Structure 1
């Protein structure tokens, strides 16, 4: 698990790992990473009958520990049936509250992955939020953790990695969400 607090040297190591993953991505992976959140935004708009915020909120609420394909399936099903199902109770409750009209920022943990995922889908041009999931962690740590705990529920560790991705994005001249998406595509296709 990434130690806290991190030294400046450790932060530089994590940021450099992210930059290197981005630079090692193929042109096709870079293109698909740049398109990832705009495409997710379009999907959110479509599944929620034109309401990208609601669609993004439900996608985010149902995203924990699910593949993107399964996440999409659950969100589509929720909107078509008028209620969420097929996930743990907390995720279903959050998705149902969002579908019922509560704004996602009132439901999702905005300081962690699902909140950031909502923002990046709802507004792909956002310059601040970045999704730190297990893949983003492993890229920065330069180690595949498998089923080991990464400690991403700790706000300090999450923020440390988000800061490293933002710094990498600044140095690359990209949005943080683009850097995360490109490195994610390259990482899962390693």
Structure 2
């Protein structure tokens, strides 16, 4: 687990690892990664009847510990049936509140993964949003943790990695969410 307060040297190490993973991407992986949040945004619009905020919020609320395919299935089902089912109580409560009209920013933990995931889907061009999930962590530390805890619930640890993705994005000339998505594609496909 990385320190909650990383040194400048550690931050540079994480940032370099992210840039190196970006540089490993094939042109096709870069194309797909760059479009990932755009596609997710379109899906959010589709399932919610044109309300990207609501669609992105429900997707984010139902995202914890699910694959993207399962996340999409649960969100589509929630909008079709008018009630979220098939997940843990906390996620279902959040999704149902969002579908009932509560602003996702009032329901989701906006300074952690789920909140940032919502922002990335709701506005794929957001200049600061970046999702730090287990894969983003493993890319930055150059090690696959498997099922071990990464401690990403700690605000300082999460912010350290988010800042490293932002620094990598600035060096690359992309927005942070695209850097995260492209490196995620490379990471996932290398593990398969």
Shorter-chain TM-score: what band?
A: over 0.9
Q: Deviations over 1:72-110 (max 9, x none)?
A: 000000000000010000000000000000010000000
Counting only pairs closer than 5 Å after superposition, residues 7-156 of structure 1 correspond to structure 2 as 7-156=7-156
1:112 Cα deviation (Å)?
0.2
Q: Deviations over 1:114-168 (max 9, x none)?
A: 0000000000000011000000000001000001010000000000000000000
Once residues 110 and 5 of structure 1 are traced to their aligned partners in structure 2, the CA distance between those partners, rounded to angstroms, is 20
Contact 2:4/2:157, CA 8 A, preserved across alignment:
yes
Q: Which runs of 5+ in 1 are unaligned?
A: none
Residue number in structure 1 paired with 2:3:
3
Once residues 122 and 4 of structure 2 are traced to their aligned partners in structure 1, the CA distance between those partners, rounded to angstroms, is 31
RMSD (CA atoms): 0.4
**Which stretches of structure 1, 4 residues or longer, exceed 3 Å deviation after superposition?**
none
Once residues 37 and 97 of structure 2 are traced to their aligned partners in structure 1, the CA distance between those partners, rounded to angstroms, is 23
TM-score by length of 1: 0.99
Once residues 158 and 129 of structure 1 are traced to their aligned partners in structure 2, the CA distance between those partners, rounded to angstroms, is 13
Instruction: Say which is worse superposed, 2-11 or 74-83, in terms of deviation.
Output: 2-11
1:4 Cα deviation (Å)?
2.6
Q: Count residues in correspondence.
A: 190
Once residues 6 and 123 of structure 1 are traced to their aligned partners in structure 2, the CA distance between those partners, rounded to angstroms, is 30
Contact 2:4/2:154, CA 8 A, preserved across alignment:
no
